[in-house]
Structure 1
Amino acid sequence: MLYRNIGVDLGVTAKHKAQVLDEQGKKVVPNFSFSTSKDDLDALCQQALSGTNQGTKLRFICEPTEMSWFPFAIYAKTNNHDIVRVKSHKAHDLRKYFSRHKKNDKLDASVLAVMPMIDEKATEQIYLSDAKTFSLERRNRQKEKITNEIAAIKNRLSSLYHWVMPGLLDCFGDSFDSRAREFYRHFSNPFRAKESGIDGIRQILEPAGRQKMKPDLPEKLYSIACRSCELYAKASCYVDFTEIQDEVHIELQLLEAQEEALAQIKDRVESLYEKVHPSKNIESLKGISENLGPSFIGIIGNPDRFSSQSKLRCFAGMIPKQDDSGETNKKGLPMTQEGPSRFRRDLFLATDVARQWDPQLAKIYYEEMVNKGHCHTQAICATIPNLLNRILCVLKENRTYQLRNIEGNPISATQARQIIKEQFTVPEEIRQRTRSKINKNKKEERIRNLFKRQSSEMTPQNSHNIPPKDMLQKFEKYFNNAS
């Protein structure tokens, strides 16, 4: 099939630039600027197809610029055109090859248009999930964003009370339960808390919670407020606690509004999750609960788009880099870490739980820790690809996951835990060994940095002296005494 390639340099606020090439790489249409509208896209396609044989298809090539690519993908899919995406670093490298000291929209569009002819593997078909899955993924992102904002508000308030009333947060079991918030709302000014007294504090806090209040809580809070008043008795020219009280009041309003929004989003996520994945088979995998299930389903979408397990591992960025030359084959290289970072984080959390229930995963984790001397994080990362294989198998075959022993025979959860306890429990001394190894490396690095700082004061800037072994030992002895 004949193609005409349309390289599109997407603009977020400015107009897009397009370059149209035929199958021989010749420019067939003058540089085309257009906006995101159906009329402009129709005009571009009409010019690109002028003078072509019947059956010639258009292929849009673009970079993943924010969500600017999404309208093009919708237009291409609905009009029977192809649309592919090029990774930004690939386009960057090719642009540097064409022009080392030049960058503009015209050059970017030309680079994208010629990319399929130079390296067809550098392009990938843009996948569009169905409407429900797309909505689920956007809700998951919104949920994560609001969760982070709630955590940020709580961190700001905690940091505030560390200096306004030191020791206050230790009085509450939960620093942000209903009684704690009521105290913050009324008594963030320690002088006001002292003025209200123990009875005034008790009168405010007692009806604020459902559970019975600890009898000594008002006395503790009053004592902390009095100590803060002593500390800031002569600080009125530096700190206005009335403004602090108003600041806390606004922060609490924001916190409660975000928590209310988060509750609504969680309900919506659950509703979409039941429609997209009604069987919830993915939750049969240990470590994937009702919290991580919607996240995995939203990111993976249609499992059939991954032709093999390695494709899913590449998508998650959980494959090691490769560096081979001749007979040299480097091992232990870091992961590529391409793809959604949220996907890798959730996989790490799920794998850390799954290896405590699945003997086959526990064996991999055990060998990484005990036989290869890796730390906990490295062992989990080595186990993640095997969990990914299970996820893809469960989704493609639409069935629940069955725990199995090392020989592959089905077992119950109780039997699995017993096998792991007897055969694949990592001894504590092994964990201590990996921790001490990390600490030793950090310690040696601190010693070398200390030597560099000391020697830089006595030697010229361009000197490259290597510290002798006896001097390093002296610095290590000095460092041990100092620490």
Structure 2
Amino acid sequence: MSVTLGIDLACRTPHVASLADETGRLIWSGRTFWTRAGDLRDLWEDLDCDPTELTVVMEPTRNAWAPVAAWFKRRGAKVVLVPTTQSADLRDYYSKHTKNDRLDSVVLARLPLLHPEGLRTHVGDGPGDPLRRATKQRSSIMKRRSAIFARIDALLELLGPGWYEELGTDYGTASLHLLARYGDPRALVRLGRGRLGQFLIRHSHGQWRHDKADHLLAIARASVELWDGDGIDLAELGLDLAIEAEQALMLSGQVRALDERIAGLYAALDPAQIARTAPGVGPVLGAAITARLGDPHRFASLAAIRSYSGLVPKVSQSGQAEHHGGITKAGDPLLRQSLWMAADMARRADPQLAATYVRLMNAGRHHDTAICHVATTLLTRLAACLRAGTDYVIRDVDGTPITEAEGRAIVKIHHQVDPAIRKKNARGRNPARLKHRTSRVSQESQSAPTTRPAKNHSRTPQVA
């Protein structure tokens, strides 16, 4: 007899489980247990069934589901993960005005009757996969470092524009070491040309030398002259720059260590490195796409993979009316971000993707929308290659296989967007984005000037 174990997982409280037979009849319900080996063994003994006839249904609650799912999978049970939004809809159908842990476990146990199409066996380790965690960590660190760079930009604006010309905005190791030690321009001037030149040579590995020191000393003197010792404490500003630069150096070191880990883990997971054969997919994006997508064979079709990416549009159809909205943004955000970045580069080397991009842009689509379409196509091709174990092949619009260099040349000649069209499409998006910034509704100060007539509604009747 087939039985279904529905588990409502918790992070800080005991899990709640209910067991139902193949007809949906509850055998027992409301059983509580913790994620401990002893509790799981006791629960297994209470089941008293053939592991091949047991289906365990649960929601992917944070990371609490991973050890429970792995424990049951090792014993031969079928594990099914149900999206939280989907299980919530089923619970509302089952009981509109009641929600508790026991009811949630009962709904999950009766899922084979309520939604048999949702019983897709879970494969992989989820958050237990080290490559999946490493790629997510790298993305998070890069965002934190970008925020630090923005704060450094804001602090350097106080010293004048010359610092941008010499240090740039994508701060390298030498720039960060300089700001960490000599953020106060007066300290930089006191260091002198000789010692500053040696400092730059050491931290830039010879890329910056004494001529760079001359430029830095010139802008440091200009900053000191700008403030002339009054209006700002340059020493305190230097301390603030040092804190930001030291954090950026630490994060940069972590990124380098993660890149080494990711390279090794990706080589073990995808020895043929099929994902990297696609144009625009390098070591970082290839590892991220492979890790966040997981086993491509676990999806029923390529359409299911596209749906998982969240890059497909929302559809609302009734009778003869049909409306396509924005993308669903379901699934994994890092997968979606990596595909978007890869697609923006792949369209420059793959004539077929470039032709799709140009067609959408000529039809009045915004750049971001066109790239989402290209990313969906790129994902479909990559998933098909991963499922078949074959490399990505770049083809011309007539289907002829070509090299990446030939593809770039073809795209440069035949598949370019008119700058006027690109500018026009960008203007169409900006008014919608700036709507609330320019309207009277969003103005915090009612006396601020506006291009629209004021709509003041009197709250008291006017006396004639």
TM-score (norm 2): 0.85
Q: 1:460 and 1:21, CA in 2 relative to 1: closer, same or farther beyond 3 A? A: farther
User: Would you say the 8 A contact 1:320–1:334 is kept in 2?
Assistant: yes
Structure 1 residue 81, shift from structure 2 partner: 1.0
User: Would you say the 8 A contact 2:66–2:125 is kept in 1?
Assistant: no
User: Would you say the 8 A contact 1:16–1:35 is kept in 2?
Assistant: yes
Q: Give the 5 Å matches for 1:269-348.
A: 269-330=262-323, 332-348=324-340
User: Would you say the 8 A contact 2:350–2:394 is kept in 1?
Assistant: yes
Q: 1:288 and 1:118, CA in 2 relative to 1: closer, same or farther beyond 3 A? A: same
Match of 2:142 in 1: 147
User: Would you say the 8 A contact 1:4–1:56 is kept in 2?
Assistant: no
| Structure 1 alignment gaps of length 5 or more | 462-483
Residues 144-176 of structure 1: per-residue CA shift (max 9 Å, x gap): 22222333333333333333x233632524453
Give yes or no for the alignment of 1:386 onto 2:381.
no
Match of 1:80 in 2: 76
Structure 1 residue 38, shift from structure 2 partner: 2.1
Structure 1 residue 311, shift from structure 2 partner: 1.9
Match of 2:87 in 1: 91
Q: 1:29 and 1:63, CA in 2 relative to 1: closer, same or farther beyond 3 A? A: same
Give yes or no for the alignment of 1:31 onto 2:23.
no
User: Would you say the 8 A contact 1:60–1:82 is kept in 2?
Assistant: yes
User: Would you say the 8 A contact 1:29–1:48 is kept in 2?
Assistant: no
User: Would you say the 8 A contact 1:313–1:385 is kept in 2?
Assistant: yes
Match of 2:106 in 1: 110
Q: Which moved more, 1:290-299 or 1:253-262?
A: 253-262
Q: How far apart, CA to CA, are the structure 1 residues paired with 2:349 and 2:173?
A: 37
Q: 1:261 and 1:446, CA in 2 relative to 1: closer, same or farther beyond 3 A? A: closer
Match of 1:411 in 2: 402
Q: Which moved more, 1:75-84 or 1:18-27?
A: 18-27
Q: Give the 5 Å matches for 1:53-452.
A: 57-129=53-125, 134-163=129-158, 165-167=159-161, 169-174=163-168, 176-190=171-185, 192-193=187-188, 208-209=203-204, 210-211=206-207, 212-214=209-211, 216-227=214-225, 229-230=227-228, 233=230, 244-330=237-323, 332-370=324-362, 372-441=363-432, 449=440
Task: Give aligned pairs, total.
Answer: 448
Structure 1 residue 368, shift from structure 2 partner: 1.1
Q: How far apart, CA to CA, are the structure 1 residues paired with 2:40 and 2:163?
A: 59
Q: Which amino acid aligns with 2:42?
A: A
Structure 1 residue 249, shift from structure 2 partner: 3.8
Q: 1:427 and 1:122, CA in 2 relative to 1: closer, same or farther beyond 3 A? A: same
Match of 1:475 in 2: none
Q: How far apart, CA to CA, are the structure 1 residues paired with 2:92 and 2:2?
A: 26
Q: How far apart, CA to CA, are the structure 2 residues paired with 1:173 and 1:265?
A: 26
Structure 1 residue 362, shift from structure 2 partner: 1.8
Residues 379-431 of structure 1: per-residue CA shift (max 9 Å, x gap): 11122222122102222222222222222222344543444344432212221
Q: 1:442 and 1:37, CA in 2 relative to 1: closer, same or farther beyond 3 A? A: closer
Q: Which amino acid aligns with 1:57?
A: E
SS in 2 for 1:279: coil
Q: 1:178 and 1:166, CA in 2 relative to 1: closer, same or farther beyond 3 A? A: same
Q: How far apart, CA to CA, are the structure 2 residues paired with 1:440 and 1:218?
A: 42
TM-score (norm 1): 0.82
Residues 9-50 of structure 1: per-residue CA shift (max 9 Å, x gap): 11112211112222232332242111111221121122233x
| Structure 2 alignment gaps of length 5 or more | 442-449
Q: Which amino acid aligns with 1:298?
A: A
Q: How far apart, CA to CA, are the structure 1 residues paired with 2:199 and 2:415?
A: 54
Q: 1:438 and 1:225, CA in 2 relative to 1: closer, same or farther beyond 3 A? A: closer
Structure 1 residue 57, shift from structure 2 partner: 2.3
User: Would you say the 8 A contact 1:194–1:225 is kept in 2?
Assistant: no
Q: How far apart, CA to CA, are the structure 2 residues paired with 1:107 and 1:355?
A: 49
Q: 1:393 and 1:248, CA in 2 relative to 1: closer, same or farther beyond 3 A? A: same
Residues 208-227 of structure 1: per-residue CA shift (max 9 Å, x gap): 54232326324423323413
Structure 1 residue 444, shift from structure 2 partner: 7.0
SS in 1 for 2:314: coil
Q: How far apart, CA to CA, are the structure 2 residues paired with 1:428 and 1:41?
A: 63
Q: How far apart, CA to CA, are the structure 1 residues paired with 2:187 and 2:411?
A: 57
Identity of aligned residues (%): 25
Q: How far apart, CA to CA, are the structure 2 residues paired with 1:3 and 1:227?
A: 82
Match of 2:444 in 1: none
Q: How far apart, CA to CA, are the structure 2 residues paired with 1:171 and 1:401?
A: 41
Q: How far apart, CA to CA, are the structure 1 residues paired with 2:337 and 2:188?
A: 43
User: Would you say the 8 A contact 2:340–2:371 is kept in 1?
Assistant: yes
